[in-house]
A and B are shown apart, each in its own frame.
Chain A
C-alpha cells in the first residue's frame, strides 16, 4: 500500500513502489486514459466498452500462489446478459498444500528486488559490477582474481604499438588532415610509427587572424605527449620547437636563427603574420614503445587581406633513438614510386669485401636532370629529380651554342648537367639492400654512342654529350603469390654528337635529353613440382597368402 505524498518522495530517491493490491493491478492496461480491447480490468473502460468485448484476456489477478490464503481478483464477462457486462469479484484463494506459506517475516521474500538507483556516489561501484557483458552473483571473489592478474600485464599493455593514437594529456596528438572534402579537420589523431604527410585547406580571415586557434603555434605545441599510453602516467614529453621558417608572400623562405621565441599571429598592415602554414613533427621513441622526445618544425607565413583560405601542410615522422633513419625503397623488393637507391664503392677496397657508400645526394638516390622554367641547360643548377622505380621519365633542356663557346669545357659542363655532380657507380638491387652487402648492389654499365654527322670525320672534331639514357632492367623475384621487384641491370648510355663550328654571330639551339626507362625482364613463372608424381601400385604383402 502506498501513500501519495510518501510515494512522491520515494520516487525521487528510488524506483516507484510496487503496487500490491490485486484489485488495482492490471497487466493488460497498456494505453493510458484509453480503453484497451478485451481488457476487463482496465479502469478506463466504461460499461459501453465492456459490452463490446468478446472475452477477458486477463481472467484472474492473484499474488504469489504459494501463500496459504490470498486475495484474487476475478474478471469475467457475462455474455448472457443484454448488453454483455463485466463481472468483478474479489475472492480469497486458498492453497491446499501443507507446505504453503503461512507467514513471512522477510519483506523481500515474495517481491522482486528493487534495483539500486544510481547516484553520483555509487555510480562507479555499480558500473564495475554491472558494466560488463556479464556479471556474476559473487562479484567480490572475482575481483580478487582479476586484480592479481593485472599488475604483470600493466607494463606491457601501456606501451605504444603501431597505429595506436599518440596520446597527450587531454586528448590525442592532432594531425589536421582533409576528411571527405579538402577542408582541414582537427580530429585526425596521429598514429604511433605511422609516418604521415597531409595537406588541407583552412578558411581564414585577416580580421579574426589572432582568434583562429589553428593559425597559432601554441595550438600545436601546448599539450604535452604522454610517454606511455597509461593516462595516469606522470611521464610527459613536451613538444619543443625545433626550427621556424618564415615564408614571405612571394614564397621565399628564410630560416630563423632563434627558435625559442613563440611567434603568435597578429595583424600588421592589413596582413596577418606569423600564421602557421606547416608543421613537421619529429617524434623520437625507444625500441620498447615509449616516446622520449618530440620536436616540431614550423613554417610561418603571412596571409593577405584577399585570401579566404590557406593551405596548411602537416607531417609527422618517427625515429628510433640512437639510430639514423634510412628510408627504404621497399622491403625487400622495390615498391613502385619509391626512389632507386644508388651509391659508390670507395677506391682501394678489394672486391667483394667492399662497402658501398652513398652518393653526394643525401638521400643516396639515383637522380636525373630536372627541367627548369627557363629550360636553359647552362642555368640548371643543383636540383635534380630522384629516379622513382617503375616510372619512366624523360626530361631535358635547351642548349644555346654561340660561336664563342669552347668545346672541351662545354662538353664537361654538359656531362655535369646530364649526370650530376657525382654520378653513382652502383644501384641497389633490392629496396632494402644494406651498404655492407656488396653483392646486393648492381654496377652501372656505362656505354658511349657517338652520333656521326655524315660529312664530318670522327676524331678531329669535338664530341659533346647530348643525351643520357638510363635503362633499368628489373625482374620479379621470389614467390609466385608475392613477387618482389629486383633490379638486375642498369645501363647508362651517353650519346655524343660532334659540335660543328659556327660562324661568328650565329647561334644554334640543341635539345639535351635525359631519360630513364624501366624494363621488366622477368621470365614467365613456371610452376615447379618437388618431384614428379609417381603412380604407386603394389600388391599387398600377403596377396598370395595360402600359396606363398
Chain B
C-alpha cells in the first residue's frame, strides 16, 4: 500500500519549498544590498539555490509517482535526489556567506523535512520490495 504519511509530507514539502525558495532569494537580495557582498561570493550562493530548485521538481515528481504506483525504482531515484538536496541545504545552512537567523530557521525546517522524508521513503521501499 502507498504510504500516506510520505504522501502528505511530499505535498507539504512542495508547498513549503516554494515559500522557502522565494524567502531565501529575497534574503540574498537583502544581504547584497545591506552588507558587502562581492560578486565572487554571491555567485556560488545563488547557484546552489537555483540548483536545489531545479533538483526539487523531479525529486517531488518521482516521489509522488513512486509512492502512488508503489514502484521502488522511482522512489529510489527520488531518495538519491533527496540526499543531494540535503547536501545543498546543509551548504546553505552552514557555508553561506552570511547566515542570518532566518536562514538558520528555514534551512533547519527544510533539513528536518528532508530527513523525515528520507526515512519514510526507505520504509516505503522496504514495504514495496517485499
Contacts and interface: CB of A to CB of B under 8 A. Distances in A.
Interface of A: 68, 97-106, 108-109
Contact of B97 (A68, A98, A99, A109): A109
Given A98-B101, A101-B99, 4 more contacts: A101-B100, A102-B103, A105-B99, A109-B98
16 contacts: A97-B101, A98-B100, A98-B105, A99-B100, A99-B101, A100-B100, A101-B35, A101-B99, A102-B99, A102-B100, A102-B101, A104-B97, A104-B99, A105-B95, A106-B41, A109-B98
Contacts of B41: 106
Contacts of A106: 41, 97-98
Nearest to A98: B102
Contacts of B99: 101-105
Given A106-B41, A108-B36, A109-B36, A100 B98 contact: no
Interface string B83-98: 0000000000011111
B104 interface: yes
A99 B23 CA distance: 12
Nearest to B35: A109
A105 B101 contact: no
Contacts of B104: 102
A101 B100 CA distance: 4
A106 B105 CA distance: 20
B47 to A, nearest CB: 15
A63 to B, nearest CB: 15
Contact of A104 (B30, B98, B102): B98
B98 A101 contact: yes
B107 to A, nearest CB: 11
B100 A105 contact: no
Contacts of B35: 101, 109
Nearest to B102: A98
B34 to A, nearest CB: 8
Contacts of A100: 100-101
A255 B35 CA distance: 83
Contacts of A102: 99-101, 103-104
A98 B100 CA distance: 7
Nearest to A108: B36
Nearest to A69: B101
Contacts of B36: 108-109
A545 B16 CA distance: 84
A68 B101 contact: yes
A251 B103 CA distance: 99
A105 B102 contact: no
Which of B41, B96, B101, B102 has the most A CB atoms < 10 Å from its CB? Answer: B101
Given A98-B102, A99-B102, A105 B96 contact: yes
Nearest first, the 4 closest Cβ-Cβ pairs linking A and B are A103-B99, A102-B99, A106-B97, A98-B102
Nearest to B100: A99
B94 to A, nearest CB: 8
